[in-house]
């Protein structure tokens, strides 16, 4: 830059617009990066594009697709980006009027992004993270970039004040300040623009690894894996609206893990090492596993953090190799009582050796509901153990099993105050009516699920308004490792009501009404729902 041009450097409309565009682009870049690196799916911009397609009348979409061919999506995204550029330029000019003036625009855009991201699926708030990161970037970006411009304008205003005003500054000072502001603006703009390009690239690189694994996964054909066939009596004879489906589709399956970025493992690169107190170590590849006989089973997974009435449980058809078979081949030392499992991302859990070697179907699962495991649920291989809470058994992305003794190990959650031994507790839940529902008087059907893996449920009872326990009808799945659906038809007067549920397992144990928190080894208590009957 030439140091001694005797010329004021004014901020123009264009400079403010540029600040708006750079701040805006930075927000798009960070949200894209976060979406790529972390979620799984499209960036908010693409989500908005999909929303546009959805709300556009079908005929228009058809015609566009016909004219534009395969370019329709990229062109749509390009169109949105151009529109955004214009909007961002405008936010820059708004910022010139008042520092807060762009905020409503950003908020509206973020709201649109949030709607677009959340509408297609009922997934959790985690999908909002990219939107929020983008919004935060916009706010910080616009304040940061317009600050030098604002200083420059202030210098100008002070020069225009009468010479006797104490705030007046002379032409030299103005020029000095403006040059400094301009330099700050150029440097900041370059930093923000360059920084967001780098962030976007890094996000993309992380994401592309994931996409590659996703592609591999989609193309996998798993011999021996069969499609789930729901057993005849596993569902209630009469469907009840609002009742949890007996099979949980993978998309709706609860997800609990400590991974911010889920591990993406190419099946070819996957190894499982079985070692520790064994006669011979085993090192297994994915193909080794697939070459064995697969066992398939219905198993309901349950999280220890599930509160009474909560929904951290899901039922699926799992296909895999029995862990017992592998441990027998390795030759387990008689003094061992535990297996320390480790996932590719370093999470650990300690599983009782008996649960892996008795006759239950503890599996190294490769498939869920007839498909290769979804990445979020442990692709390519996870452990599934009927009857134990997930945190002591259901290792996703499992890569290491060390046969050992509980007295010698500490695992991720047990080092934080959760119990070392955690069999699933007998539980039952009311799905219908939902808490606070208003229902019509005629023919009220209550329904829900109950579980006691691996013992099985013998009976479910409900009690209305503190009255006596009455038996519910219970479906009969062909295994004790899953939940059961139950329903009960009741006669109720108009007004407010309260219903409780309790289950009895196949040993005759009746579910306790004593309320206990989820920590350290799972909640207990009867699920209670309040509802009102309209006349």
Ligand X SMILES: Nc1nc2c(c(=O)[nH]1)N[C@H]1C(S)=C(S)[C@@H](COP(=O)(O)O)O[C@H]1N2
The footprint of Mo ion (CB under 5 A) covers 256, 303, 390-391
Give 79's contacts (C-beta < 8 A, 6+ positions apart): none
Taking the C-alpha atoms of residue 181 and residue 174, their distance in angstroms, rounded to an integer, is 10
What is the nearest approach in angstroms of Mo ion to the Cβ of residue 394? 8
Taking the C-alpha atoms of residue 436 and residue 259, their distance in angstroms, rounded to an integer, is 35
Tokens of 409: 């190990």
Give 243's contacts (C-beta < 8 A, 6+ positions apart): 236, 431, 432, 447, 448, 449, 485, 487
- Of the two residues 259 and 282, which places its CB atom closer to ligand X in the complex? 259
Task: Please choose, out of 74-82, 221-229, 243-251, 256-264, the segment that lies near ligand X by the rule CB under 6 A.
Answer: 256-264
Over the window 347 to 386, marking each residue x when it contacts ligand X by CB under 6 A and - when it does not, the resulting string is x-----------------------------x---------
What is the nearest approach in angstroms of ligand X to the Cβ of residue 63? 43
- Of the two residues 372 and 424, which places its CB atom closer to Mo ion in the complex? 424
Q: Does 396 bind ligand X (CB under 6 A)?
A: yes
Q: Provide the H-helix boundaries in 234-340.
A: 286-291, 323-330
Task: Please choose, out of 23-31, 88-96, 184-192, 387-395, the segment that lies near ligand X by the rule CB under 6 A.
Answer: 387-395
What is the nearest approach in angstroms of Mo ion to the Cβ of residue 302? 8
Q: Does 469 bind ligand X (CB under 6 A)?
A: no
Taking the C-alpha atoms of residue 530 and residue 515, their distance in angstroms, rounded to an integer, is 18
Q: Answer for the pair 62, 70: CB distance below 8 angstroms, yes or no.
A: no
Taking the C-alpha atoms of residue 245 and residue 296, their distance in angstroms, rounded to an integer, is 20
Q: Does 257 bind ligand X (CB under 6 A)?
A: yes
Over the window 268 to 307, marking each residue x when it contacts ligand X by CB under 6 A and - when it does not, the resulting string is ---------------------------------x-x----
Partner whose footprint covers residue 394, from ligand X, Mo ion, none (CB < 5 to 8 Å by kind)? ligand X
Tokens of 100: 């807060």
Taking the C-alpha atoms of residue 301 and residue 131, their distance in angstroms, rounded to an integer, is 31
Partner whose footprint covers residue 258, from ligand X, Mo ion, none (CB < 5 to 8 Å by kind)? ligand X
Q: For residue 440, give the 3-state DSSP assignment.
A: strand
Comparing every residue's Cβ against ligand X, the nearest one is 390
Taking the C-alpha atoms of residue 389 and residue 54, their distance in angstroms, rounded to an integer, is 40
Question: Of the candidates 30, 343, 482, 504, which one interacts with ligand X according to CB under 6 A?
Answer: 343
String of b and e for 211-220 (b: at least 16 CB within 10 Å)? eebbebbeeb
Q: Answer for the pair 380, 333: CB distance below 8 angstroms, yes or no.
A: no
The CA-atom distances, in angstroms, between 120 and each of 42, 114, 251, 263, 429 are: 11, 11, 12, 25, 28
Q: Answer for the pair 286, 372: CB distance below 8 angstroms, yes or no.
A: no
* Distance, C-alpha 250 to centroid of its chain: 12
- Of the two residues 39 and 178, which places its CB atom closer to ligand X in the complex? 39
Question: Of the candidates 30, 39, 315, 395, which one interacts with ligand X according to CB under 6 A?
Answer: 395
Partner whose footprint covers residue 185, from Mo ion, ligand X, none (CB < 5 to 8 Å by kind)? none
- Binding to ligand X (CB under 6 A) within 65-124 occurs at none
Taking the C-alpha atoms of residue 532 and residue 448, their distance in angstroms, rounded to an integer, is 18
Task: Please choose, out of 53-61, 108-116, 195-203, 249-257, the segment that lies near ligand X by the rule CB under 6 A.
Answer: 249-257
Q: Please give the angle made by the CA atoms of 312, 467 and 502, to the nearest 5 degrees.
A: 25
Comparing every residue's Cβ against Mo ion, the nearest one is 303
What is the nearest approach in angstroms of ligand X to the Cβ of residue 200? 28
Q: Does 394 bind ligand X (CB under 6 A)?
A: yes
Which helix (H) or strand (E) covers residue 315, if one does? strand 313-322
Q: Does 397 bind ligand X (CB under 6 A)?
A: yes
Question: Of the candidates 93, 180, 255, 405, which one interacts with ligand X according to CB under 6 A?
Answer: 255
Partner whose footprint covers residue 469, from Mo ion, ligand X, none (CB < 5 to 8 Å by kind)? none
Partner whose footprint covers residue 96, from ligand X, Mo ion, none (CB < 5 to 8 Å by kind)? none
Q: Does 390 bind ligand X (CB under 6 A)?
A: yes
What is the nearest approach in angstroms of Mo ion to the Cβ of residue 234? 24
Tokens of 471: 């038996």
What is the nearest approach in angstroms of ligand X to the Cβ of residue 53? 31
Question: Of the candidates 65, 156, 253, 408, which one interacts with ligand X according to CB under 6 A?
Answer: 253
- In the numeric block, the tokens 């893990």 are attached to 257
Which residues lie near ligand X (CB under 6 A)?
253-258, 301, 303, 343, 345, 347, 377, 390-391, 394-397
């Amino acid at each position: 830059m030439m140091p001694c041009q005797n010329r004021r450097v004014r901020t123009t409309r264009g400079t403010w617009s540029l600040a708006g565009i750079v701040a805006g682009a930075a927000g798009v870049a960070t949200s894209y990066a976060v979406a790529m690196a972390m979620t799984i799916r499209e960036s908010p911009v693409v989500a908005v594009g999909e929303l546009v397609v959805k709300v556009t009348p079908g005929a228009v979409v058809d015609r566009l697709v016909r004219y534009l061919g395969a370019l329709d999506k990229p062109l749509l995204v390009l169109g949105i980006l151009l529109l955004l550029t214009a909007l961002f330029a405008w936010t820059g000019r708004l910022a010139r009027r008042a520092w807060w003036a762009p905020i409503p625009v950003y908020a509206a855009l973020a709201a649109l992004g949030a709607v677009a991201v959340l509408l297609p699926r009922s997934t959790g708030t985690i999908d909002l993270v990219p939107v929020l990161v983008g919004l935060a970037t916009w706010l910080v970006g616009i304040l940061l970039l317009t600050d030098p411009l604002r200083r420059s304008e202030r210098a100008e205003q002070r020069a225009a004040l009468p010479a006797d005003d104490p705030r007046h500054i002379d032409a030299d000072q103005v020029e000095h300040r403006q040059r400094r502001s301009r330099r700050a603006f150029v440097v900041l703009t370059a930093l923000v623009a360059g920084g967001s390009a780098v962030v976007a690239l890094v996000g993309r690189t992380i994401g592309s690894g994931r996409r590659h694994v996703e592609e591999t996964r989609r193309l996998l054909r798993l011999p021996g894996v069969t499609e789930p066939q729901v057993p005849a009596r596993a569902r209630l004879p009469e469907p009840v609206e609002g009742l949890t489906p007996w099979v949980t589709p993978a998309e709706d399956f609860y997800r609990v893990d400590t991974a911010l970025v889920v591990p993406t493992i190419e099946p070819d690169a996957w190894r499982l090492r079985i070692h520790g107190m064994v006669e011979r170590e085993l090192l297994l590849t994915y193909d080794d596993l697939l070459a064995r006989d697969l066992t398939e089973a219905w198993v309901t997974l349950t999280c220890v953090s599930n509160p009474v009435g909560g929904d951290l449980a899901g039922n699926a058809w799992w296909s895999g190799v029995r862990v017992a078979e592998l441990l027998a081949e390795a030759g387990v030392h008689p003094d061992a009582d535990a297996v320390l499992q480790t996932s590719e991302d370093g999470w650990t859990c300690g599983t009782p050796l008996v649960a892996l070697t008795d006759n239950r179907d503890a599996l190294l699962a490769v498939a869920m509901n007839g498909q290769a495991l979804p990445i979020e649920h442990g692709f390519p291989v996870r452990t599934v153990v009927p009857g134990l809470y997930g945190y002591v058994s259901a290792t996703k992305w499992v890569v290491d099993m060390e046969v050992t003794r509980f007295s010698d190990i500490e695992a991720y959650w047990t080092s934080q105050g959760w119990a070392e031994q955690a069999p699933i507790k007998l539980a039952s839940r009311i799905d219908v009516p939902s808490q606070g529902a208003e229902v019509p008087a005629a023919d009220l059907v209550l329904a829900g699920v109950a579980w006691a893996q691996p013992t099985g449920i013998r009976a479910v009872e409900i009690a209305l308004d503190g009255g006596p326990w009455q038996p519910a009808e219970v479906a009969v799945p062909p295994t004790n490792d899953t939940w059961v659906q139950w329903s009960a038809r009741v006669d109720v007067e108009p007004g407010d009501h309260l219903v409780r549920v309790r289950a009895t397992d196949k040993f005759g144990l009746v579910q306790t009404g004593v309320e206990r928190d989820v920590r350290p080894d799972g909640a207990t208590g009867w699920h209670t729902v309040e509802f009102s009957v309209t006349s």
